[in-house]
Amino acid sequence: MTDRPLEGRHALITGGGTGIGAATAELLHAAGARISLLGRRLEPLCDVASAVGGTPVQCDVTDHDNITRAFEQARTANGLIDLLIVNAGIAESAPFHKMTRESWDRIIAVNLTGAFDTVQAGLPDLLQAEDARVVFIASVASLRGVPYAAHYAASKHGLLGLMRSMAAEYAKSRMTVNAICPGYVDTPMTDQSVSRVSQITGKGDDFARSAITNMNASGRLVDPTAIANLVLTVCLPLSRDINGAAITIDGGTAA
Ligand code: NDP
């Protein structure tokens, strides 16, 4: 294998300014890909883009027209999209009986409808590519229920339905469609979960961080670069027969 197996490919990453998205940008860039980074906040996107020589594009994935414009900008800078990493996501927590319709709508709009609109925007490019990839960043919450996060779990279960249906439908094309299902990862999203658990329990941040960390069977948070490494693996030419897979990376929680 060459040092730069993704040379000449264009990878578009939603939620690319922070956490798993930023780590993925670094590894795909190191493997030779041109990088476009989408998200709502320009500042973190610009920081990552300058580190990877990539293109930052402001985009809210809940806005269909905004996605269309953002993909046009990304194409102008880096050409047709070969690798689409559907990573943008949000999380909120509430006991089910207190979960509001507004919170449900927010989560579904970003995590599921946003993913649908993102893939539809990229599809014409992906179907023209030599060896295309769609990689959804799903969750272990795609595989089981999560107390206080029914909306999040429903959105992430939905992603697997979308992924598996696309993988079956396009199995004879040159595009594969897969999902990665992380346990708790050391990112800003987990920091926000720590704050919420700390507030709900009133037991402080250290207790909350330890409780969340121990949700992973390994007793440690997953390194975002480890998720990025799995994304890279799925994107390699030799992975073209990995299709329709939900790949867990959670320190053994789903075992
Ligand atoms: P981050 O909060 O760091 O990343 C989420 C990214 O999504 C941010 O860069 C954010 O940027 C972007 N985003 C959120 N809403 C929108 C929107 N409406 N439009 C465009 N971009 C948006 O956390 P992670 O890196 O952990 O999360 C990445 C993915 O991994 C998510 O899908 C998450 O559900 C999933 N995941 C995370 C786990 C964890 O433990 N952290 C575990 C399992 C899965 P901005 O706010 O600037 O728009």
15 CA distance to ligand 1 centroid (A)? 6
pLDDT, tens only, 177-195: 999 999 999 999 999 999 9
Q: Whose CA is nearest to atom 12 of ligand 1?
A: 15
pLDDT tens digits, 117-148: 999 999 999 999 999 999 999 999 999 999 99
- CATH class for the region spanning 10-183+223-240: alpha beta
CA distances to 4, 17, 22, 73, 136 from 56, in Å: 22, 8, 11, 9, 20
Which residue's C-alpha comes closest to atom 33 of ligand 1? 89
Measured CA to CA, the distance from residue 3 to residue 31 in angstroms comes to 7
Q: Distance, CA 16 to ligand 1 centroid (Å)?
A: 8
Report the alpha-carbon distance of residue 131 to residue 171 in Å, rounded.
Answer: 12
Atom 21, ligand 1: residue with shortest CA distance: 39
Q: What average pLDDT does this structure show over 225-242?
A: 98
CB 109 within 8 A of CB 62: yes
Mutate-to-test residue for ligand 1 from 20, 26, 191, 225, highest number of ligand atoms within 8 A of CB: 20
ipTM of the complex: 0.99
Q: Please state, in angstroms and rounded to a whole number, the distance separating the CA atoms of residues 205 and 216.
A: 18
Q: Per-domain residue ranges for the chain?
A: 10-183+223-240, 184-221
CA distance linking residue 119 with residue 125, whole number of Å: 10
Nearest atom within ligand 1 for CA of residue 141: 43
The predicted-structure confidence for 64-113, as pLDDT tens digits, reads as follows 999 999 999 999 999 999 999 999 999 999 899 999 999 999 999 999 99
Q: Give 117 Cα–ligand 1 centroid separation in angstroms.
A: 16
168 burial (CB, 10 Å; 0-12 / 13-18 / 19+) is exposed
